[in-house]
């Protein structure tokens, strides 16, 4: 019964969750983001129990619909659904009928005819979750769409920073890497700004998208400057395709100019947090000594990802008035 008291939590009751879908952080208010983080905070404890399961979503059906290869996000969602006792099925692009020429709306309408409750979607094209949300009555959770948003990644980043720093308001966060093609960067920009953090984006000019400063962030090409002032450093993955598209001359060149190694880290604040959404390109955007070093919270991010995804599933699928239940 002690659990129930913990789980009733400090702030889940302050806001009634009303949104059917989670498409991005841009559309959320600061209160809504705080409500998700508070819910996640209370769910974190479930994974520490010997029996890591609560009946919150028993009888609900969740579909993991992944059109892009993903291991960590898909598994994180799958485990989140299972710990809430939902039934979950995984559909990946290779096994889907899209390969056979079916449109994405046909696929989703077929799934809906099977009476699913939540669909978690990952797609290489920006806006696919929004398209689905317009056409189905099931809840849609965006697990990453193109270069647009990846809201649960940003939420787990926010939760990690909050845990480690005790606050978000007034912190300076530098996001370094391929900003132009990063949905993680965009979701984090919205989430961090809404919760009062100041955001700097940093990368070579070819990887900084046009007009990004109009979103309210600062942009710099100077990695030393981005490192020097930050309370949190978020590094993004540099993909090999970027080199092919002539966006960076070579990965070596990127590492030399922007890679985070022990030497560059010397210019950082003493209590800096180092984050990365994974998977890491060791030896490109960061050195192993940094990734595995004392400032790295990369594995805390993964742990928090599970709690955040449980919270999101619970909020969109569960009745908003329900108390978070204790174990059976």
Partner 1 sequence: MSKPLLIVGGTVIDPAAKREGRFDILVEDGAIADVKPSIRAREGLEAVDAAGLLVVPGFVDLHVHFREPGREDKETIETGSRAAVRGGFTAVCPMPNTDPVVDHGGAVEWVRHEGGRVGLVDVLPIGALTRGERGEELTDFGELFEAGCIALSDDGRPLANSLLMRRALEYAKLFNRPIIQHAEDPSLSAGGVMHEGLVSTTLGLKGIPSESEAVIVARDLSLAELTGGWVHVAHLSCAKSVELIRQAKRRGVRVTCEVTPHHLALTEEAVAGFNADAKVNPPLRSEQDRQALLAGVADGTIDCIATDHAPHTDWEKDADFDSAPFGTTGLETALGVCVRALVEPKTLSWSRLIETLSTNPARIAGLDGDGLIAGKPANLTLIDPKAPWTVEPSRFASKGKHSPFAGWELPCRVVKVIRRGEVMGSDPKGV
Give the range of 12-20, 54-62, 204-212, 297-305 binding partner 1 by CB under 8 A. 204-212
- Please give, one letter per residue, the 3-state secondary structure of 227-291: HHCCCEEEECCCCHHHHHCCCCCCHHHHHHHHCECHHHHCCCCCCCEEECCCCCCECCCECHHHH
**Which one of the spans 71-79, 209-217, 234-242, 319-327 is the region binding partner 1 (CB under 8 A)?**
209-217
16-35: which residues touch partner 1 (CB under 8 A)? 26
For residue 178, the minimal CB distance to partner 1 (Å) is 12
Residue 143 binding partner 1, by CB under 8 A:
no
Q: Does 209 bind partner 1 (CB under 8 A)?
A: yes
214 is a site residue for partner 1 (CB under 8 A)? yes
**125 binds partner 1 per the rule CB under 8 A:** yes
Q: Where are the alpha helices (DSSP H) in the chain?
A: 2-8, 30-43, 72-83, 104-113, 128-135, 151-165, 183-194, 223-228, 240-244, 251-258, 262-265, 288-291, 298-317
Q: Which of 183, 194, 242, 309 binds partner 1 (CB under 8 A)?
A: 183
DSSP string, 77-92: HHHHHHHTT-EEEEEE
- The minimum distance between CB 145 and partner 1, in angstroms, equals 7
- Least distance to partner 1, CB of residue 217, Å: 11
Q: How far is the CB of 81 from partner 1 (least distance, A)?
A: 25
With b for 16 or more beta-carbon neighbours within 10 A and e for fewer, the 118-143 pattern comes to bbbbbbeeeebbbbbbeebebbbbbb
101 binds partner 1 (CB under 8 A): no
Give the residue carrying structure tokens 């700097």.
200
Q: How far apart are CA 248 and CA 268, in angstroms?
A: 25
Smallest distance, partner 1 to C-beta of residue 199, A: 14
Question: How many amino acids of this chain bind partner 1 (CB under 8 A)?
Answer: 26
Q: Shortest approach of partner 1 to residue 206 CB, angstroms?
A: 13
Decide if residue 128 touches partner 1 (CB under 8 A). Answer: yes
CA–CA dist 37, 11 (Å, integer):
9
Q: Are 243 and 255 in contact (CB under 8 A)?
A: no
Q: Which of 186, 255, 276, 309 binds partner 1 (CB under 8 A)?
A: 186
Q: Interface with partner 1 by CB under 8 A: which residues? A: 26, 103-105, 123-128, 130-131, 145-149, 181, 183, 186, 209-212, 214-215
């Amino acid at each position: 019964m002690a659990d129930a008291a913990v789980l009733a939590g400090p702030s889940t009751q302050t806001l009634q969750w009303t949104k059917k879908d989670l498409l991005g952080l841009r559309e959320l208010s600061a209160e809504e983001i705080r409500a998700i983080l508070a819910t996640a905070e209370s769910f974190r404890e479930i994974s520490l129990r010997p029996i890591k399961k609560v009946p919150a979503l028993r009888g609900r059906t969740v579909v993991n619909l992944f059109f892009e290869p993903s291991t960590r996000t898909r598994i994180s969602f799958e485990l989140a659904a299972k710990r809430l006792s939902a039934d979950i099925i995984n559909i990946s692009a290779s096994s889907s009928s899209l390969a056979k020429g079916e449109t994405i709306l046909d696929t989703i309408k077929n799934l809906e005819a099977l009476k699913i409750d939540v669909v978690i979607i990952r797609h290489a094209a920006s806006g696919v979750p929004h398209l689905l949300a317009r056409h189905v009555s099931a809840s849609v959770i965006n697990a990453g769409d193109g270069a647009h948003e990846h809201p649960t990644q940003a939420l787990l980043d926010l939760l990690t920073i909050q845990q480690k720093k005790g606050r978000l308001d007034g912190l300076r966060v530098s996001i370094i890497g391929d900003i132009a093609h990063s949905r993680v960067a965009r979701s984090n920009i919205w989430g961090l700004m809404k919760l009062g953090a100041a955001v700097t984006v940093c990368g070579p000019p070819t990887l900084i998208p046009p007009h990004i400063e109009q979103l309210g962030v600062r942009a710099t090409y100077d990695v030393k400057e981005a490192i020097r002032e930050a309370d949190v450093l978020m590094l993004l993955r540099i993909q090999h395709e970027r080199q092919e598209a002539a966006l960076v001359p070579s990965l070596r060149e990127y590492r030399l100019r922007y890679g985070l190694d022990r030497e560059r880290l010397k210019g950082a604040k003493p209590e800096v947090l180092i984050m990365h959404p994974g998977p890491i390109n060791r030896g490109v955007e960061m050195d192993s000594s940094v990734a595995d070093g004392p400032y790295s919270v990369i594995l805390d991010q993964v742990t928090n990802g599970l709690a955040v995804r449980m919270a999101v599933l619970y909020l969109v699928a569960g009745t908003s008035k329900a108390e978070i239940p204790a174990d059976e």
